[in-house]
Amino acid sequence: MTRIIDKTLAGLLVTLMAVMVVTVSWQVITRFLLNSPSSYTEELSTYLLIWISLLGAAYALRVRAHLGIDVLVRRLPKTQKRSVHVFAHIVIIIFSVVALVFGGSWLVYVTLDLNQLSAAFQVPIGYVYLVLPISGLLMIYYSFVAIRENPDQESPTLLSDG
């Protein structure tokens, strides 16, 4: 199950990034070469960046790519190192539940209820904010996966078949 989620998330991030590169490139072409800037590209690239950032944060949690100062933790005995590892992921779970899942869900509900629309696309802005609870759920899931794993083992990589 974890492998399927990992590959799906990685594929989605690559796709979103490719769409963003094309969108920003088109904006540059229309603005500077055609002297007629596209009205949709700025908004689309902003929303893509939001989705890439939040889903990328969950992905980075999975592959242990977040910055951390582990000078003291590396010197601890194995049992204490494990305790710090579990504690850190419990804090991540609490933050994800409160801020991303509950806060994000509330934000999605309120913006959909108020029928707030994006400026250029005129789509409900709640769909943009939907990435908050999605990212939160992924972070919760990946934190539980990380708690089960040994903190000393090699970080997972999505490029290998293992």
Please report whether residue 156 resides in a domain.
no
Please report whether residue 160 resides in a domain.
no
| pLDDT for the residue 60 | 97
Per the CB < 8 A criterion, the answer to whether 106 and 141 are in contact is no
Please report whether residue 159 resides in a domain.
no
| pLDDT for the residue 39 | 86
Please report whether residue 153 resides in a domain.
no
pLDDT digits (tens, 9 = 90+) for 98-157: 999 999 999 999 999 999 999 999 999 999 999 999 999 999 999 999 999 877 766 666
Whole-model pTM? Answer: 0.90
pLDDT of residue 162 exceeding 50, the answer is no
- Number of domains making up the chain: 1
Per the CB < 8 A criterion, the answer to whether 60 and 66 are in contact is yes
pLDDT digits (tens, 9 = 90+) for 64-102: 998 888 888 889 998 999 999 999 999 999 999 999 999
Please report whether residue 105 resides in a domain.
yes
Please report whether residue 119 resides in a domain.
yes
Please report whether residue 162 resides in a domain.
no
Please report whether residue 155 resides in a domain.
no
Torsion sign across C-alpha atoms 114, 118, 123, 126: negative
Its domain, for residue 107, covers: 2-148
